């Protein structure tokens, strides 16, 4: 995943400075990478508006009329950060969180199995999973082994897993049959399709590991990385190079990955405000930051079936759940049964019967 993101970033820099209207720019952005210690996806996931994603999942819970759920999340800042949003959202729709299951990021299979066995004793069978793919993939393989992916259970995953579904091994996908997921919707465009074609060509000529396939490219995070580079390059040009000098931070540590060791630039606050006010049409659609987070226009709701997935609906703040995406905000549901606003769902165990919760 790191190689894919880095490749998208390098393509973004090349495309930006070779764009016709940018030929006379006086600044040039040069990026230096460091080892993120496998936190690339976690950091990227944290950049989206989590509260909006939670509302989408709460709408799904309400659509299926479930009244009790279990939250399963990794024991990291990324995992725990979204939990207060879930609690508030479920209180608003009178849904109880019966149990919170916390999985360490470095948990071994025995630890995961121990926690999963606890879930077999919980009254509800509706589980919401918020974690990165590294621990999430092992969670589902073990859940399948202990019978928690059988008929009568419902599983919903957030973007940390759903946005990387295509990059997961086939045995992980096999264990996730019937899972529901939500992910930010990226509208189709000529610009995006052209980028995909060029990215595939680059794939064939590069030395990307065999575990990553053409279907994985580009990932949602790669697309966001591309747009973020454009936003940063635009902001740097607008601010200019007033003073490239870095001042030493008063707080430092000995960690090689601690950014405070680099110091800070006096133009930093101005650059930050410029980035926050930057608006443009990118690969991911309308690029806009709200309170420092990417604002998602809509979310796809999908069902894991067979070797892939099937989109069963969409969620937007203006319409709620609908089978088709309404870009003009004119669509309104004619039914009081929100479940009818989704296409038919195949649940774990190849069941069409809605699980109880």
The pLDDT of residue 112: 96
CATH of span 50-185+298-341: 3.40.50.2300
Decide if pLDDT at 42 tops 80. no
Q: Percent of the chain scored above 90 by pLDDT?
A: 47
**pLDDT band for position 337 (cuts 50, 70, 90):** low
Tens of pLDDT along 139-152? 999 999 999 999 99
Checking 38-43 for CB contacts under 8 A at 24+ apart, the result is: 38/134, 40/1, 40/2, 40/5, 40/221, 41/1, 41/132, 41/133, 41/160, 41/164, 41/221, 42/76, 42/78, 42/132, 42/160
Q: Looking only at Cα atoms, what is the longest distance across the chain?
A: 65
Average pLDDT over residues 280-293: 85
With a cut of 60, say whether residue 216 has pLDDT above it: no
Task: Kindly tell me if the per-residue pLDDT of 23 is higher than 80.
Answer: yes
- Please report the pLDDT score of residue 259 as a whole number: 46
Looking at residue 256, its pLDDT comes to: 45
pLDDT classification of 213: cutoffs 50, 70, 90: very low
Instruction: Report the pLDDT averaged over residues 207-211.
Output: 47
Whether residue 88 is predicted with pLDDT greater than 70 in this model: the reply is yes
Which SS3 state, helix, strand or coil, does residue 22 take?
Answer: helix
Q: State yes or no: pLDDT of 33 exceeds 80.
A: no
Query: What is the rounded distance in angstroms from the CA atom of residue 330 to the CA atom of residue 294?
Result: 24
Are 181 and 157 spatial neighbours (Cβ–Cβ below 8 Å)? yes
Share of the chain above pLDDT 70, in %: 78
pLDDT-based confidence at residue 8 (cuts at 50, 70, 90) = confident
- Rounded distance, CA 217 to CA 235, Å? 27
- Mean pLDDT within 343-347: 92
Rounded to an integer, what distance in angstroms lies between the CA atom of residue 136 and that of residue 253? Answer: 32
| More confident position, 342 or 257 | 342
The whole-angstrom separation of Cα 88 and Cα 92 is 6
Average per-residue pLDDT for the chain = 82
The answer, yes or no, to whether residue 214 has pLDDT greater than 60, is no
Other C-beta atoms closer than 10 Å to the C-beta of 36 total 13
What pLDDT is attached to residue 319?
A: 86
For the chain, state the CA radius of gyration.
22
Residue 211: pLDDT band (50, 70, 90) is very low
The pTM for the full model equals 0.82
Q: Residue 275 above 50 pLDDT?
A: yes
List, in order, residues 6 or more apart from 167 with CB less than 8 Å away: 1, 133, 212, 213, 216, 219
Other Cβ atoms closer than 10 A to 342: 20
Task: Give the per-residue pLDDT at 3.
Answer: 63
- Please write the tens of the pLDDT for every residue from 225-271: 899 999 999 999 988 765 555 555 555 555 444 444 555 566 778 88
CA distances for 189 relative to 47, 97, 192, 195, 282, angstroms: 23, 40, 5, 10, 10
> What is the C-alpha end-to-end distance of the chain, expressed in Å?
35
Please tell me the predicted confidence (pLDDT) of residue 178.
96
Q: In the chain, how many H helices and how many E strands?
A: 12, 12
Separation CA 277–CA 280 (nearest Å):
10
Whether residue 264 contacts residue 246, with contact meaning beta carbons closer than 8 Å, is answered with: yes
Beta strands in 78-192 (DSSP E): 96-103, 126-130, 154-157, 180-184
Q: What is the pLDDT of residues 135-190, one digit of tens each?
A: 999 999 999 999 999 999 999 999 888 888 877 889 999 999 999 999 989 888 99
**Which sequence spans correspond to the domains of the chain?**
2-33+194-240+253-294, 50-185+298-341
């Amino acid at each position: 995943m790191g190689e894919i993101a880095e490749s998208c970033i390098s393509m973004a820099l090349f495309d930006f400075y070779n764009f016709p209207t940018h030929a006379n720019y006086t600044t040039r952005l040069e990026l230096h990478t460091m080892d993120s210690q496998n936190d690339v996806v976690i950091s990227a996931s944290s950049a989206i508006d989590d509260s909006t994603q939670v509302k989408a999942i709460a709408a799904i819970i309400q659509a299926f009329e479930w009244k009790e759920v279990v939250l399963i999340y990794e024991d990291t800042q990324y995992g725990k950060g979204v939990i207060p949003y879930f609690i508030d959202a479920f209180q608003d729709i009178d849904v109880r969180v019966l149990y919170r299951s916390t999985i360490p990021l470095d948990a071994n299979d025995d630890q995961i199995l121990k926690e999963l066995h606890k879930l077999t004793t919980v009254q509800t069978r509706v589980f919401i999973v918020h974690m990165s793919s590294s621990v999430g993939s092992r969670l589902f393989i073990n859940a399948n082994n202990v019978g928690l992916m059988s008929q009568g259970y419902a599983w919903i995953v957030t973007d940390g897993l759903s946005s990387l579904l295509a990059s997961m091994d086939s045995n992980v996908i096999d264990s996730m049959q019937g899972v529901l997921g939500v992910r930010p919707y990226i509208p189709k465009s000529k610009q995006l399709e052209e980028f995909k074609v060029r990215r595939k060509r680059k794939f064939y000529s590069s030395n990307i590991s065999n575990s990553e396939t053409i279907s994985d490219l580009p990932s949602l995070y790669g697309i966001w990385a591309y747009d973020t580079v454009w936003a940063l390059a635009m902001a740097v040009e607008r601010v200019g190079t007033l003073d490239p000098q870095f001042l030493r931070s008063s707080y430092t540590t000995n960690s090689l990955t601690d950014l405070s060791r680099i110091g800070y630039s006096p133009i930093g606050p101005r650059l930050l405000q410029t980035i926050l006010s930057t608006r443009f049409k990118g690969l991911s659609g309308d690029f806009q930051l709200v309170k420092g987070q990417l604002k998602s226009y809509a979310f796809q709701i999908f069902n894991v079936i067979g070797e892939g997935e099937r989109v069963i609906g969409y969620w937007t703040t203006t319409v709620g759940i609908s089978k088709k995406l309404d870009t003009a905000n004119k669509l309104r549901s004619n039914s009081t049964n929100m479940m009818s606003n989704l296409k038919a769902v195949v649940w774990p165990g190849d069941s069409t019967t809605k699980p109880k919760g």
